[in-house]
């Protein structure tokens, strides 16, 4: 049911395709945003409710959904902070900031192997490919997955969603969420924005491998960043700025500095090694075909 709604606008996506119906708003939205979960889910207003035995108050809204339900960007913006850790109350989380300085916090993102509760915390099961500090994204782009990391382990999988104004103050997101558009970027939209490239060589030397190839942004001639993943976890990032006249010849007018070499990537025998190309302007990143080394 989750996948049936991906890429479909809210008007074409009945609540039955998700996990409940959103409550009606009781006031205007503070911001015009996309709903942070990729399908319809129910929730109630718990902003300000006591937590931690009354030692603190709830500063967000809990959007309940099964693990691995896609989470999407509420707006065009940049990932201003990302945390990959099982520790603390929040667990895996990220903060998205828009051009006006408003922030949207996603907390308790997934830390389990799908179908388990093992807390192994593989990065690519918490965050979508290419999502990292400083990454630009577009509204409706999948950025991660619902989970139960942090202190949500015994409360049921959900995303704790917060909004903070440009001064850093948490504000009640209830009406904003109740008004929000349900939207996930379509496969065609992603294809139009994601980088292209190729992982051409994987060379082992002892316990490490060197990865070589090229990557080209869909719209910008700037050199893009590329990240090596080993068994789903990021281990090294570099910029694809090696001179590649052959890439320029195949893509006239795009420049030649698009080659990459990711060296000294520690990878045990039998590991899955992948390269992710980061888009410059957001909208979709690209995982090149992985290799077992």
Ordered structural domains, the chain, with CATH: 2-185 (2.70.70.10), 194-292 (2.60.40)
Q: What is the pLDDT of residues 198-207, one digit of tens each?
A: 999 999 999 9
Check residue 18 and give its pLDDT.
80
Q: Mind spelling out the 3-state secondary structure of 172-236? A: CCHHHHHHCECCCCCHHHHHHHCCEEEEEEEEEECCEEEEEEEEECCCCCCCCEEEEEECCEEEE
Check residue 155 and give its pLDDT.
86
208 bridge partner residues: 205, 266
Check residue 51 and give its pLDDT.
65
pLDDT at 211 exceeding the cut of 70: yes
Mean pLDDT over all residues of the chain?
91
Cα dihedral value 72, 75, 78, 84, nearest 10: -30
CA 253 to chain centre: 31
Q: What is the pLDDT of residues 125-181, one digit of tens each?
A: 999 999 999 999 999 999 999 999 999 988 889 999 999 999 999 999 999 999 999
Q: What is the pLDDT of residues 68-93, one digit of tens each?
A: 999 999 999 999 999 999 988 999 99
Q: Give the CA radius of gyration of the chain.
A: 20
Give the pairing of strands 77-83 and 136-137: antiparallel
Rounded CA separation 125/26 (Å): 35
More confident residue, 279 or 14: 279
Q: What is the pLDDT of residues 85-117, one digit of tens each?
A: 998 899 999 999 999 999 999 999 999 999 999
- 56-67 average pLDDT score: 84
Q: Tell me if residue 166 falls in helix, strand or coil.
A: coil
pLDDT at 124 exceeding the cut of 50: yes
- 229-236 average pLDDT score: 98
CA 188 to chain centre: 18
Output the CA angle 254-190-40, nearest 5 degrees.
160
Rounded CA separation 143/94 (Å): 9
Q: Tell me if residue 14 falls in helix, strand or coil.
A: coil
More confident residue, 151 or 18: 151
More confident residue, 11 or 156: 156
Among 152, 193, 161, which Cα is nearest to 60's?
Answer: 161
Cβ partners under 8 Å of residue 209, min gap 6: 202, 203, 265, 267, 273, 293
The model's pTM? 0.91
């Amino acid at each position: 049911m989750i996948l049936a709604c991906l890429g479909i606008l809210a008007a074409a996506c009945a609540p039955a395709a998700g996990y409940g119906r959103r409550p009606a708003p009781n006031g205007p939205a503070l911001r015009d945003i996309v709903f942070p979960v990729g399908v319809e889910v129910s929730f109630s207003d718990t902003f300000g409710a006591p937590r931690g035995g009354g030692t603190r108050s709830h500063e967000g809204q809990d959007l309940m959904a099964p693990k691995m339900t896609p989470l999407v960007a509420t707006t065009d913006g940049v990932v201003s902070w990302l945390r990959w850790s099982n520790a603390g109350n929040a667990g895996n989380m990220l903060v998205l900031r828009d051009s006006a300085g408003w922030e949207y916090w996603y907390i308790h993102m997934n830390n389990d192997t799908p179908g388990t509760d093992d807390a192994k915390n593989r990065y690519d099961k918490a965050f979508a490919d290419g999502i990292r500090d400083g990454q630009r994204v577009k509204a409706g782009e999948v950025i991660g997955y619902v989970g139960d990391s942090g202190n949500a382990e015994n409360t049921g999988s959900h995303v704790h969603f917060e909004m903070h104004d440009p001064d850093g103050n948490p504000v009640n997101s209830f009406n904003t969420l109740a008004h929000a558009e349900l939207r996930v970027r379509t496969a065609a939209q992603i294809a139009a924005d994601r980088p292209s490239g190729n992982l051409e060589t994987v060379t082992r030397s002892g316990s490490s491998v060197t990865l070589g190839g090229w990557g080209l942004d869909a719209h910008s001639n700037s050199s893009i960043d590329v990240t090596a993943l080993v068994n789903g976890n990021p281990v090294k990032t570099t910029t694809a700025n090696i001179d590649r006249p052959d890439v320029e010849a195949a893509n006239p007018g795009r420049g030649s500095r698009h080659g990459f070499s990711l060296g000294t990537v520690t990878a045990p025998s039998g590991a899955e090694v992948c390269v992710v190309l980061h888009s410059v302007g957001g909208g979709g990143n690209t995982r090149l075909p992985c290799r077992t080394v």
